[in-house]
Amino acid sequence: MLGKFTKIAAISLVAAAGFTPLASLAQDAYPTKSIRFVVPYPPGGPTDLMARLLQGELQTRLGVTVVIDNKAGAGGNVGSADVAKQAPADGHTLLLAASGPMAVNSTLYKSMPFNPLTELAPVIQISSFPLVLEVHPKVPAKNLKELIAYAKTNKKDLSFASAGNGTPQHLAGELFNTQMGIEIAHIPYKGAGPALNDLLGGQVQVMFDVLGSSLPHIQGGKLVPLAVTSAKRSPQLPNVPTMAEAGVAGYEFSAWHGIAVRAGTPKPIIAKLNTTLNAIFSDAEFHKKWEAIGTPVVGGTAEKFADLIKRDTVRLGKVVKDAGVTLD
């Protein structure tokens, strides 16, 4: 009788600590089949590239096939909603979770097909892309203070390009306008590529762009970098100041990504995915490949990523509201 009581007490203690025999079995058995990796954007962009870099590593470490599934549309909402609403909550469908659908679109769109805070479970943050504030060489500004001064006296001569309403490029520009009390007109494009092309051609004069995309043009002298939006200077542009260093106190902005699964996925499975991905990012060779696309390695806990999503839902939501932008 005492032995039976001791066993029950032991199981109760283990369960209270968050570990049960069934949970342990779920973690050990996972994965049991191929994994679908949903990218909510078209092939070829930086989000797709991140998924494909991770694909091979996940296959090797988890021992199953990982299939990339590009489901683009509605600013990332289509693919994200597919995971949040349709995928089984068993860890065999992963979402490349971008800051747009995870933290911006709930304010930007009049109606959302899913709730990122309640219908998706964060696994890990994987990127934090700094943007670079750059201008066409014909703009008479060689530093940030000169651009601000020019913007205040030549409102009709400046416009800034973005990859579309609600994109990081757009929000970074609106945040800059708000903090500096200026009104550089926003010109939304259907993607970062066309926006960058018109900046290079001089049809628009200013852009906040993902550093990796613009770096070759900066190095070639076709664009002039004035500041980076990260808290620290970029290793790729060590001589370019941060926005704060250049005179915009408290300005910090990054386009981030992570991995998420459908809410209700067992915590041991989320923990195994988190551990696996942190191990991938700890590999020196992979580290180099990852940083080459323009983002530092991030990693960390699922809780840390969840906190970022909650904070930026509020912070970036305010930027969207202040800009007065809504989409159907």
| Higher pLDDT pick, 3 / 235 | 235
CATH 3.40.190.10 residue ranges for the chain: 130-228
* Torsion over CA: 159, 165, 169, 171 (sign): positive
Strands, E assignment, 46-176: 66-70, 93-98, 120-135, 159-162
Greater confidence, 186 or 296?
Answer: 186
Q: What confidence score (pLDDT) does residue 5 get?
A: 43
Model confidence band, residue 75 (pLDDT cutoffs 50, 70, 90): confident
Could you give the residue range(s) of every CATH 3.40.190.150 domain in the chain?
Answer: 2-129+255-323
Q: Return the minimum-mean-pLDDT range out of 39-48, 61-70, 148-157, 284-293.
A: 39-48
Mean pLDDT for the chain overall: 90
Rg of the chain (C-alpha set): 22
Least confident segment among 25-34, 211-220, 275-284, 285-294? 25-34
The pLDDT value recorded for residue 22 is 52
The residues pairing with 124 across neighbouring beta strands, listed in sequence order, are 259
- Other beta carbons within 10 angstroms of residue 39's beta carbon come to 24
pLDDT at residue 10 is higher than 50:
no
Q: Kindly indicate the confidence band of residue 113, based on its pLDDT and cuts at 50, 70 and 90.
A: very high
CATH class in words for 130-228? alpha beta
Examine the pLDDT at 4 and tell me if it is beyond 50. no
Which architecture, in CATH terms, is 2-129+255-323?
A: 3-Layer(aba) Sandwich (3.40)
Is omega for the bond preceding 31 within 30 degrees of 0, making it cis?
yes
Q: What is the pTM assigned to this prediction?
A: 0.83
